Structure 1
Amino acid sequence: MSSPKIRSVSADLQKSAIEELNEVPERIGADIEALRSWIKQQPHLRARDDDQFLLSFLRGCKFSLEKAKSKIDKYYTLRTKYPEFFGAFDADDASIRAVINAGLLLLLPKPVNEDGPRIILVRQGALPADKYTIEHFARASSYLQELLIRDDDYAMIRGIISIIDVENCTPAHVMQMTPSVMKKFSIHAEEAVPFRPKQQHFIHTPSGFETIFNVMRGLMTKKQQERISVHADKLDKFYEKVPLRYLPVEYGGDNGTIAEIISHTNKQLDENREYFKENKNYGTDESLRLGKPIDFDNLFGVEGSFRKLEVD
C-alpha cells in the first residue's frame, strides 16, 4: 500500500490527534483505504475520496469507520437534496460574495492560544436582512466549511469555537431563523460535517434574547445545547474562554482586521474556483441506494427528527 498523500502536522497537533482522536499514524493509510473502498461499493454515492478529505472525516469521527461512513453519506445526501442550503458549486455566486464581503462570516487567522481551536465569527447583523436570505448565509457557510475540511488542521484536530455577534440583529434577521431552518442547520452540523464544535458563544445579546433563543434551543441536540453560552453586555466570562487578543482588531483584539479577513477569504474562493465546480460531480441518487430510499418529506418536519440513514 502506498503512503497516504496527507499533510504533516506539528508534533503537538499529532499528539492531540493520537490522544484525543484515536489516531494511529501507522494505520492512517489502511483506515483511509477502508473508507475509500466502502464509498466505491455504494451505488447511490459519488463522493470525493482523496486522502486528505477522507482523513478529515476520520478525525472528525475519532477514527470510527462506521461514523465516518455515516457522515460522508449524510454530507452528500443533504447537499444533493438541499443545494440551496448546502451546495458549494460556484465560487463566483454573487449572493455568496455579498455575504462574504459584508463580513457575516469570518474565519479568524489565529486559533485560540495560537495552536488551539479555529475561531469562526458570525456577525449576523452585518448585512440588512432584506439584502440576503438565510439560504445565502447557509451556502456561504458551506464553502468555508469545505475549505476547513480540506485545509485546516487546527479545525479538524483541535476543533472549532463559534462566536455569534447579534449586536446589530433586527427582528427581520431573527424571523429568518424559522424552526425548519434551525432543524436543517442542527442536523447538518451534528450529523453531516466532521467538525468537533468546542464552544458556541452568543455575544452582545439584547434584552429578551434568551426568551426567543429558548425556543430555538429546543430544536438542537443535547450536545449542541451544552456547548452554548449567552453573553449580554458584560463579556468577562466570554473573554475567559476566548481571550480578547484573539478577536479582530475592530473588537479590540489583534487577530486581523475584518477587511483583511474578507480579502483573504475572497482569495481562497478565487483560488479554489475549479475545485468548487468539481462538486457538481458529487452527490447521491436515492433511486440507487441499497435498501429503502430516504423519505425526505418526513425528515425535516418541525416536530420530526432526522432518522438514521442506513449505512452498510
Structure 2
Amino acid sequence: MSPQIRPLTPELQKAAKEQLKEDPERLEADLQAFKTWIEQQPHLNPRMDDQFLVAFLRGCKYSLERAKSKLDKYYTLKTKYPDYFLVSDTKDSKFREIHQTGALIYLPTPLNETGPRIAIWRMGLVSVDKYTMLEAMQVAQAMQEIAILEDDYANVNGVVFIMDMKGATAAHLFQMTPSMAKKFTVFSEEALPLRLKAQHFINTITGFEQLFNMFKPMMSKKMQSRLFVHGNKMGLLTEQIPLKYLPVEYGGENGTTEEIVAAMEKKLDEYADFFQENTKFGTDESLRPGKPIDFEGLFGVEGSFRKLNVD
C-alpha cells in the first residue's frame, strides 16, 4: 500500500533529497521499518498515520534510530507533563483569546519563497495579568502540531523563529522558571521533529540577559550557534531575513497579523477533533522494556541539568 503522504513540490523534493537524504523510492520501506518498531514497543501508543510519522523521519534526516528516540520522547514528555505539552481543547475560551492577540503567528510565505517557515512570538501582546506563560505556550504547542502535519516547508527546511520582546516587562520574564526552561528546551531539541534553523531576539528588555544566560547552556553547541540577539536594531535582523518576508506591521509584505490570525482560527476549528484525540495517545512507563526513564536525572532536582547531546 502506497504511503498516504502529500507529494512535495519539485523544489522541496530536491531539498529533501539533498538535505534530508529522502529517497522517494525508499519512502514506503522507511515508513514500514518505523511502524514495525513502533508496534514492538508495548509502552508506546502514538498516532500511526503516514503524514505524521514521516515528519519524524524528515526531522531526523532519515536516521531511524534518531526518529525512534524522538517519537518516544515526544509522547513520553506529553504523558509526563500534560500541562506543558498535551493540547486537547483548542476551543477553550482562554486558549482562543490568547491566539487572537496575534502574539504567535506563522507567516504565510516562507523565507526566500521556498525556504524555512518563519514564526514570530511577540511576548508583550500577552497580558501577564490575564494569562500565564504556560497558557500561552499551549497555543504555541497546538500550532507546532498543525505544522508537523501539514507544513511541508517547516518539515523539510525547518523553522526560523523570531522573539519580539517589544512591550514585554520583567513580569513576563519572571514566569519563565528554570524548571520550565529546561522542559521546553528538552522538548524542542529532543522530541520535536521540526528543526529550528535560527532563533532571533529583537527589542530585548532589561532582564533578558539573565533569561538568555539561563537558556543557552541547556542547548547543544549547534543550537547555541543559531541564536542571534539584535537588541533594538532591526537592521541586523533584516540582514538575515529580508524585510519583505516580515509582516505588514513590521514594514514587510508577508501578510497582516489580522489575516494570519483569522486563517489560523479556521484551522483550529478544523483540528478541534484532532486535538481531542490527543488524550488517546501517549506512553505507559509500567510497560516500557528495560529501565524506566529517570526524569529527575534528565531535568535535575535542584537545577543540575544534564546537557543535551543533539546532532
TM-score by length of 2: 0.95
Shift of 1:256: 1.0
Deviation at 1:236, TM superposition (A): 1.6
Q: Give the counterpart letter for 2:138 in structure 1.
A: R
Q: 2:277 aligns to what?
A: 278
Alpha-carbon distance in structure 1 between the residues aligned to 2:252 and 2:161: 16
Spell out, residue by residue over 1:252-279, the C-alpha distance to the aligned partner (whole angstroms, 9 max, x if none): 1111111111111111110011111111
Letter in 2 for 1:166: M
Equivalent residue of 1:125, what SS?
A: helix
2:4 is aligned to 5
Q: Moved runs in structure 1, 4+ residues, more than 4 A?
A: none
> Is contact 2:42–2:287 with CA below 8 Å preserved after alignment?
yes
Cα shift at 1:82: 0.6
d(CA) in 2 for partners of 1:145 and 1:271? 15
Correspondence for 1:117? 116
Aligned to 2:294: 295
Count of matched residue positions in the alignment of Structure 1 and Structure 2? 307
2-structure distance, mates of 1:78, 1:96 = 21
Answer with 61-70 or 95-104: which moved more: 95-104
* SS of aligned partner of 2:141: helix
Counterpart in 2 of 1:24? Answer: 23
* Higher mean C-alpha deviation, range 77-86 or range 197-206: 197-206
SS in 2 for 1:229: strand
Rounded Cα–Cα distance in structure 2 between residues aligned with 1:104 and 1:178? 20
Unaligned runs of 5+ in 2: none
Question: Contact 2:160–2:196 at 8 Å: present in 1 too?
Answer: yes
What SS does the corresponding residue of 1:200 show, helix, strand or coil? strand
Kept in 2: contact 1:36–1:49 (CA 8 A): yes
Partner of 1:188: 187
User: Structure 1 pair 195/99, CA: closer, same or farther in 2 (3 Å)?
Assistant: same
Give the C-alpha shift of residue 207 in structure 1: 5.2
| Separation in 2, partners of 1:180, 1:296 | 12
Over the residues paired in the alignment, what is the CA RMSD in angstroms? 1.5
* Long gaps (5+) in structure 1: none
Q: For residues 307 and 180 of structure 2, what CA distance do their matches in structure 1 show?
A: 13
Distance in 2 between residues matched to 1:206 and 1:172, nearest whole Å: 11
Could you give the per-residue CA deviations for residues 218-272 of structure 1, whole angstroms, max 9, x where no partner exists?
A: 2322222111100122222210111111111111111111111111111111001
Work out the CA distance in 2 between the residues paired with 1:213 and 1:307: 17
TM-superposed deviation, 1:3: 1.2
**Equivalent in the alignment of 2:238:** 239
CA deviations 1:122-156 (Å, max 9, x no partner) are 00110111211122122211111110110000000
Aligned to 2:152: 153
Conservation of the 8 A alpha-carbon contact between 2:165 and 2:203: yes
**AA partner of residue 79 (structure 1):** K
